[in-house]
Amino acid sequence: MEIHKAYKFRLTPTPQQRILLAQAVGSCRFVYNHLLALNKERYDVEQKFIFTTEMVNMLPHLKQEYPFLSDVFSQSLQQSLRHLGDAFQNFFKGNAEFPTFQKKGRADSFTCPQKFRVVEETNRLFVPKIGEVKYRNSLKKNKGGKPTRIMGTIKTMTVSKHSGKWYVSILTEQFLFDQVNHHDKPLGIDVGLKVFASLSNGEEIENPRFYRKWEEKLALEQRRLSRKVKFSNNWVKQFYEVQRIHSIIANSRLDFLNKTSSQLVNNHNLFGLEDLAVANLVKNHKLAKSISDVGWGKFRSMMEYKADRQSKTVVVVDRFYPSSQICSSCRSRKIMPLHLRTYVCEDCGTTIDRDYNASLNLEREVIRIAAAI
């Protein structure tokens, strides 16, 4: 089985290299926005769009019109236009909104599909048109005390900037041997807000609430940002400070979800998850902030790809399956409003925590589904 895995490192460029990296990011953003605007104009006149191949073929003419584009690696500019083409395709397929203009300071990045080089022995990275840039190998060390190396075949490299710092993401292609798929050690997982997840083995995973911990500090820094003169030096510094807090929240959540999903996948073989309509749930203004903070969608995707790599099974139970309304003991059913946290069965007298009861029902349902596969 072939999989794609990315390794991300912090870059430590020289002052001159920072200028060249910023120029590369700005040029890629420029061609993206320029062709997006051209597409809009063409559609207004001819009711047609310019797609990927035609956009890439227009680059030589753009370089003549805008000579600064020649200072940037041409394949990075082409890749930026391919991203625009993909955005159009996703829009036409109904999977995304119409592409919008890229803004400076938001998702600043460029991709090199070829002609880059990684020298792991010296922690250096050769970036076309920029030169060798140092990076920090911050990956955890293995038992032998040596840094973890990049495994697999390196495919592409993406350089990005966030909070005033530069990073590189190296995408690799790896081959994993398929393993025997077992359906023993089942586990039902009921995610929630009071606790992150209730497991059918009786355990509970606490909800860390990372955004709530930093909410007051973030609001303070955002107020300070609003008082600065936009795009002044002090505004830029404060903007990076706001981004830094957002990074802390996002990275803390990502680390928690990674560790939690890995632990569950390593210890069990069959998983039952709810098919939650997160996009609809966040429309509830009273719960939207808490739902966004908990990261249910990311947790599900992590469970699915990690289980797949170990030949284990994740079954997403139909969203209309009433896991919270069914008694896990006698299978009778009753209406359970959200404010009721304890399930009391009127038929058999079972008294059980609402979320634990739902996880038991999910485990039973996933066993039934797996048996039919």
| Active-site option among 108, 221, 304, 355 | 355
- Residue 339's domain comprises 186-372
pLDDT of residue 299: 96
| Active-site option among 108, 274, 363, 365 | 274
pLDDT of residue 255: 95
User: Does residue 129 belong to any structural domain of this protein?
Assistant: yes
Q: Whole-structure pTM over 0.75, yes or no? A: yes
- Residue range 239-290, pLDDT digits in tens: 999 999 999 999 999 999 999 999 999 999 999 999 988 888 888 888 899 9
Task: Report DSSP state, residue 150.
Answer: P
- Does residue 318 have an active-site annotation? no
Could you tell me if 130 and 32 lie in one domain? yes
| Active-site option among 108, 190, 221, 293 | 190
- Does residue 190 have an active-site annotation? yes
Could you tell me if 206 and 155 lie in one domain? no
C-alpha atoms less than 13 angstroms from C-alpha of 137 in its C-beta half-sphere: 16
pLDDT of residue 164: 87
Could you tell me if 151 and 207 lie in one domain? no
pLDDT of residue 79: 97
Q: Which residues of the chain have pLDDT under 50?
A: 141-143
Helix, strand, coil tally for the chain in percent (to 5): 45, 20, 35
Could you tell me if 214 and 241 lie in one domain? yes
pLDDT of residue 142: 47
How far CA 258 is from CA of 87, 232, 250, 263, in Å, comes to 28, 38, 12, 9
CB contact at 8 A, 265 and 306? yes
- Does residue 274 have an active-site annotation? yes
pLDDT of residue 143: 46
* Domain count of the fold of the chain: 2
The DSSP line for 204-269 is: EE----HHHHHHHHHHHHHHHHHTSPTTSHHHHHHHHHHHHHHHHHHHHHHHHHHHHHHHHHHH-S
User: Does residue 234 belong to any structural domain of this protein?
Assistant: yes
User: Does residue 181 belong to any structural domain of this protein?
Assistant: no
pLDDT of residue 372: 80
Task: Report DSSP state, residue 106.
Answer: S
